[in-house]
Structure 1
Amino acid sequence: MGSEWEAYVMPQWLNIEDSSGIFWDNDSLAALLALELKVDLLVLLSDVEGLYSGPPGEPHSKIIHTYIKEKHHCGITFGNKSRVGRGGMTAKVKAAVHAAFAGIPVIITSGFATDSITKVLKGERVGTLFHKDASLWAFPKEDSAREMAVSARDCSRRLQSISSEGRRRILLDIADALEANEKLILAENMADVISAQQSGYEQSLISRLSLKPGKISNLANSIRILARMEDPVGHVVSRTELFKWKWPSLEKVGKEAMRSNVVLHKIITGAIPENVGQKLIGLVTSRDEIPDLLKLDDVIDLVIPRGSSKLVSQIKESTKIPVLGHADGICHVYIDKSANMEMAKRIVLDAKADYPAACNAMVVNFPSIGSFRKHFLCISIFFGQRGINDIIAELRIEGVVLYGGAQASSSFDIPQANSFHHEYSSLACTLEVVDDVFSAIEHIHRYGSAHTDCIVTEDKKLQRFSLSRVDSAAVFHNASTFLRMGLVLGLVLRIHARGPVGVEGLLTSRWILRGNGQVVDGDKGVVYTHKILPLD
């Protein structure tokens, strides 16, 4: 690889008999070299993600994933030249068009984004593609992600205008439609499960994918419970009007659950009346659309990711849209020496073995309801050995793989854990022995994720102390951490909102000011009292 100057002063191997051999910047040089070397692909790296319809910093500029000369040549507004290069995007487009129409496909993409070239070689939809035959291709609209989001918002505004009874009727119709189509849903889900098994997915993922008997009925009943809740529309709290069911939703489905989610989406949207619009809930079927959606902070109000800690963290880092999602689910059960060991055994088994693949993220987001679950009992803290061997035996019967801290691994002959700060997504957990409740709380604060933690004890003084001192979003006494799921408590965070986030936590508010001509005018003669007023 040589520099631009080296290529310039050593032109004998280039075709410079005419002006086609002249270059003015690195981009035209790259195009010239690509033609001479007859490469399969030319990748031009930029300080932005690709070619935009206008200056990338402007809100209405959209990335162009496939450049079509007849369509885009006169419709693009270029901004300033590159901050670091010579010619800017104008030079890159000229070079790309020249190379592409000479038979060399070109992609302009970001040189700052992680793994840009790797993604290009994998065929992922990144950057802008230039190809001489692009005008002949049939491909989806490039603004489909924005159109989907805008349509969902438009439908949500229509939804706000109908009566509370009308919204309640929609929920009941959705519940009825789910139960009426249960066989179809289960058949599509079974096809997904079989496909996942044949593809070699881990058993923990297959367990999460599989719909257990009664799941559809439980979901329908949950929706009916929501429908019976008091509608807060028109209620005033501190002179603030609350709006329930502003629920435009865009759901991104995992490819392993594609058939299940497609049929669920079809059934649910089919129950939404025409005066609201079936586009109220969109279904994102391609991973390629996610980056475009995450840029729509002018349309999308909130992202609730479902998946691993890595996924949640990546989404938080790649969007300006507020993200509601807990990245880690490292949850503890502390069994005190005064605990009822039979109760402790039930709690531990339920928290760990009932649904080990559960995760704290949105499953489906219609009328602000979600099935929010987390992988509980990632670390269990025990005091003493009274009854512990029985619990360990029961966990092993359930197929739970046990790891231990320094004391537990030696006391109970189990392998030592690599780290206390680790979330398992399978039938596995870590045990440790601590001296007392103070040590337990210190351990929880050091290694936990402030998600959900539990103390099992019959000591009322210890119970009050633990519930007040453990700084987690949800703290339980004598109850399974698995109760921190869907309909029971909902999503859980520390900020915003502190603790479980159910239906009301997903509502939005609007401030209304009534006056009779007041103006600021430099605050002349004005005293602001901030007096609490009655709600009626």
Structure 2
Amino acid sequence: MNGLSLFLSNPPELPHSNGSTQLKYPSDSTDFTNVDPSRAFVRKVKRLIVKVGTAVVTRSDGRLALGRLGALCEQLKELNTQGYEVILVTSGAVGLGRQRLRYRRLANSSFSDLQKPQGELDGKACAAVGQSSLMALYDTMFSQLDVTSSQLLVNDGFFRDGGFRKQLSDTVNSLLESRVIPIFNENDAVSTRKAPYEDSSGIFWDNDSLAGLLALELKADLLVLLSDVEGLYSGPPSDPKSKLIHTYIKEKHQTEITFGDKSRLGRGGMTAKVNAAVCAAYAGTPVIITSGYATDNIIRVLQGEKKGTVFHKDAHLWTSVKEVSAHEMAVSARDSSRRLQVLSSEERRKILLAVADALEANESMIRLENGADVADAEEAGYEKSLISRLTLKSEKLSGLVKSVRMLADMEEPIGQILKKTELADKLILEKISCPLGVVLVIFESRPDALVQIAALAIRSGNGLLLKGGKEAKRSNAILHKVITSAIPESVGGKLIGLVTTREEIPDLLKLDDVIDLVVPRGSNKLVSQIKESTKIPVLGHSDGICHVYVDKSANIDMAKKIVRDAKIDYPAACNAMETLLVHKDLTQNGGLTELVAELKREGVRLYGGPRASGLLNIAETSSFHHEYGSLACTVEIVDDVFGAIDHIHQHGSAHTDCIVTEDSETAATFLGQVDSAAVFHNASTRFSDGARFGLGAEVGISTSRIHARGPVGVEGLLTNRWILRGSGHVVNGDRGIAYTHKELPLNA
């Protein structure tokens, strides 16, 4: 046992601050009811110690990382304002002093001096110079935020003196009662420590162990150690196979991970952090190691998010630490999917019917949980379009039940012979449909998507991992419970896994060896982030910029009906009209006026392109590539069908576009040249939907140009295998075999 462990195993009993500040959480709306058990303790945190390391304080070139320091100070200011007692332990003085002394030596050197070998700068001198600069910087930053800070330099030997410890505690309590942030640092300028892990007293040897010591000495409720990586990993953080350890279990992980020269982490500083975290946590103060590079990680930790690695003396008792890893969840989904595939078509059909029955039987419970999500969303001030997507009304649930039963009654999709070829005499090749394997679907704010996707996965024989938006957490949880309860034990409840935290997504996106397809359903930002973060094929669409072009030969009454439906029926849908294009001739015959009046009657806010805004006296749009998702749209005037096509190709998202015209030749031009996943003639864009296409449901809409395109139903979740049946055939250099390559009837 090292000196720190000996000291911390019997920490002195010192009085806690008796300040009367009322504890507040990072957000008044923070909901701790569904916080992971490994983070539930954060709700009781009042006194917090944050330790920031040199790797966070400075950049790779040794200069100060001012952006990260600014973000740190802003977080601490916010916590200080909300009633937390915040203590900072900081490194970086030596690095900053070395930078300044190097510059001073350069400024004072002649050219000939610079030709000589330059000796290493004295570390203690660097610390003495850097400490004042570091504190001046903190003082300036906190002053700008209207926060007062104070400096406390300590050495390990001081803590041998009980009087010193008592005075230190009293001083810190007094500062905290005055809402001052104490800033601690080891006084390296006069430290007697000879080398890492060798010190004069065995009390602490670096700022990590100092932070651990202070956490116990000052009775902190939580210690946050900020690092240059997200937390403790099972291997080098740069290795894609390394997994973030969310909860450290001493009995398990101290034998799995090695440090020092044999470190699998590749981060020398992590050794000290883990040592300090273990000592502090098992002596009574929880510790979280997380990244100091993120601008809001401290706030997110205190909101109960599963950030970084937590160290806690009761960690071995938490059931959450026994939960399956992302890899295990994906493997379980694959194993369950294989058991599902061997069932007969009728058995899979009965599972879907059981799911439909369960949804009906539990409607009141589903709507109760969904109502709580909606109430929270309204209180949080979410946009009406999101609340609309979030709400599960009775008619929406009825439609979901109907779509599940429709899927149950559709033709068996698995094992269908797609092609049959005689390669040679008695050598028959079949192309057969089969499931993809495991599909990960990440969606936002639409719990009805969970039902549709789960039903499609069961029908297509795929394993499924689902990650819904936090705004629908209660709805998703109850729907997942209801659906999985209808799946027989012979298949297993792990066929459909529900991912509950976004922190698990990076681990899932690394599993290209287990997960076969990722389907993101949400914002452009979400889809782009997913595509940039994984090697797994991604299917989806970023935007739903759908157009309706009203041609000069359009029936205006029909056009008004289509335009109204495309915009009004469900404005939040991705297949709703976002841009109305109108032939220039309709500005002369009153057609444009009628279309605009129809939209205004329905309360639609109109924005114009350069040509329409002046003519209609409406605000000009800032961008044609904009998805409103609400009762708003853009109007623009084009010269002809070719102008409409060019506009759609330049500003559209290749989702769904429509032409309204009575001219069949113009319609054919539009249908043939618009390069979108769905192109309609005289029909609302709202028909672009899996259920309306007769697919039963949809896992999403794809604007990709490979695999599935448009609404993706069961067929989009299938691939194929090749089955070859012979009677002792061999290639043997293709000698002695007569290839026929004759197509055979599928039922032959």
> Shorter-normalised TM-score: what interval?
0.7 to 0.9
In structure 2, the partner of 1:149 is: 330
Q: CA deviation at 1:43?
A: 1.3
**Structure 1 contact 249–281 (Cα < 8 Å) conserved:** yes
What's 2:60 paired with? none
Q: Is the 8 A contact 1:333 1:453 kept in 2?
A: yes
Residue in structure 2 matched with residue 45 of structure 1 by the alignment = 228
Match of 2:208 among 16, 22, 31: 31
Residue aligning to 2:246: 65
Residue of structure 2 aligned with 1:297, choices 496, 504, 512 = 512
Secondary structure of the residue aligned to 2:517 is coil
SS for the counterpart of 2:433 is strand
Q: Alignment partner for residue 195 of structure 2, among 22, 27, 34?
A: 22
Contact 1:375-1:424 at 8 Å conserved across structures: no
Structure 1 Cα separation of the partners of residues 468 and 579 of structure 2 = 30
Deviation at 1:527, TM superposition (A): 8.5
Q: Aligned to 1:376, which of 576, 582, 593?
A: 576
CA deviations over 1:329-387 (Å, ceiling 9, x no partner): 111111001001111111111111111112xxxxxxxxxxxxxxx24211111112232
1: distance between equivalents of 2:725 and 2:681?
47
Larger Rg: 2
Look up the SS of the partner of 1:414 in the other structure.
coil
1:187 aligns with: 368
Change (3 A) 1:152 1:402: same
Query: Compared with structure 1, are the counterparts of its residues 138 and 266 closer, same or farther at alpha carbon in structure 2 (3 Å cutoff)?
Result: closer
Residues 370-449 of structure 1 mapped to structure 2, 5 A cutoff: 374-383=574-583, 384-385=586-587, 386-449=590-653
The whole-number CA distance in structure 1 between the counterparts of 2:326 and 2:579 is: 40
- SS of 1:168's equivalent in the other structure is helix
Structure 1 residue 143: deviation in Å?
3.5
1:263-278 → structure 2 map (5 Å cutoff) = 263-278=478-493
Amino acid at match of 1:97: N
**2:124 maps to 1:9:** yes
Worse-superposed segment, 452-461 or 388-397: 388-397
1:305 is displaced (CA, Å) by 1.8
**Which residue does 1:282 correspond to in 2?**
497
The structure 2 residue matched to 1:327, chosen from 517, 542, 566, is 542
User: Paired residue for 1:162, among 323, 339, 343?
Assistant: 343
**Retained in 1: the 8 A contact 2:656–2:677?**
yes
- Indicate the residue corresponding to 2:712 in structure 1: 501
1:296-337 Cα distance to aligned partner (Å, 9 max, x none)? 322222222222111121122222222211011111111001
SS of the counterpart of 1:380?
strand
How far has the Cα of 1:9 moved from its partner?
2.3
Change in Cα spacing, 1:167 to 1:411, as seen in structure 2 (3 Å) is same
Distance apart, 1:428 and its partner CA: 1.0
Aligned partners of 1:80 and 1:528: how far apart in 2? 64
Does the aligned pair in 1 maintain the 2:360–2:401 contact within 8 Å?
A: yes
Structure 1 residue 107, shift from structure 2 partner = 5.2
Contact conserved, 2:554 with 2:661, CA < 8 A, in 1?
A: yes
Q: Is the 8 A contact 1:55 1:77 kept in 2?
A: no
Match of 1:310 among 525, 541, 544: 525
Is the partner of 1:394 in helix, strand or coil? Answer: helix
Q: Which moved more, 1:175-184 or 1:312-321?
A: 175-184
Equivalent position of 2:399 in the other structure: 218
Contact 2:548 2:658 in 1 (8 A): yes
Cα offset for 1:45?
Answer: 1.0
Quick one: structure 1 residues 78 and 98, their matched pair in 2 at CA, closer, same or farther if it must change by over 3 Å? closer
Q: Going by fraction, where is strand more abundant, 1 or 2?
A: 2
Any conservation in 2 of the 1:42–1:105 contact (CA below 8 Å)? no
Write the distance in 2 (CA, Å) between the matches of 1:515 and 1:336.
59
Name the aligned partner's letter for residue 88 of structure 1.
G
- The RMSD of aligned alpha carbons is 3.5
SS at match of 1:321: coil
**CA contact under 8 A between 1:334 and 1:456: conserved in structure 2?**
yes
Between stretches 115-124 and 392-401, larger displacement belongs to 115-124
> Deviation string for 1:196-249 (max 9, x for gaps)?
223322211111122234222222222222222211333222221113622322
Query: Unpaired runs of 5+ in structure 1?
Result: 359-373
Cα deviation for residue 55 of structure 1 reads 4.7
Following superposition, the deviation at residue 274 of structure 1 comes to 2.0
- Residues 415 and 530 of structure 1, relative CA distance in 2, 3 Å threshold: farther
8 A contact 1:65–1:142 mirrored in 2? no
SS in 1 for 2:255: coil
Contact 1:34 1:99 in 2 (8 A): no
Q: Secondary structure at 1:88's aligned position in 2?
A: coil
What does residue 361 of structure 1 align with?
A: none
2:246 is equivalent to residue 246 of structure 1: no
The answer (yes or no) to whether the contact 2:567–2:577 under 8 Å persists in 1 is yes
For 2:309, the equivalent position in structure 1 comes to 128
Alignment partner, residue 343 of structure 1: 558
Rounded Cα–Cα distance in structure 2 between residues aligned with 1:137 and 1:177: 31
TM-score normalised to structure 2 length: 0.62
Corresponding position of 2:724: 513
Written as runs of structure 1 = structure 2, the 5 A alignment for 1:199-238 is 199-238=380-419
Pick which of 121-130 and 307-316 moved more.
121-130
- Contact 2:247–2:309 (CA under 8 A) maintained in structure 1: yes
Contact (CA 8 Å) 1:53, 1:77: kept in 2 or not? no
**Normalised by the size of structure 1, how large is the TM-score?**
0.84
CA contact (8 A) 2:414 2:461 kept: no
The structure where helix makes up a greater share of residues is 2
Residue 304 of structure 1 aligns to a residue whose secondary structure is strand
The verdict on how the C-alpha distance between 1:189 and 1:498 changes in structure 2, with shifts beyond 3 A counting, is: closer
The secondary structure found in structure 1 opposite 2:659 is strand
Give the aligned residue type for 2:501. Answer: S
Contact 1:357–1:425 (CA<8 Å) still a contact in 2? Answer: yes
CA separation of 1:439 and 1:90: change in aligned 2, threshold 3 A: same
Q: Which moved more, 1:374-383 or 1:423-432?
A: 374-383
SS of the residue corresponding to residue 432 of structure 2 reads: strand
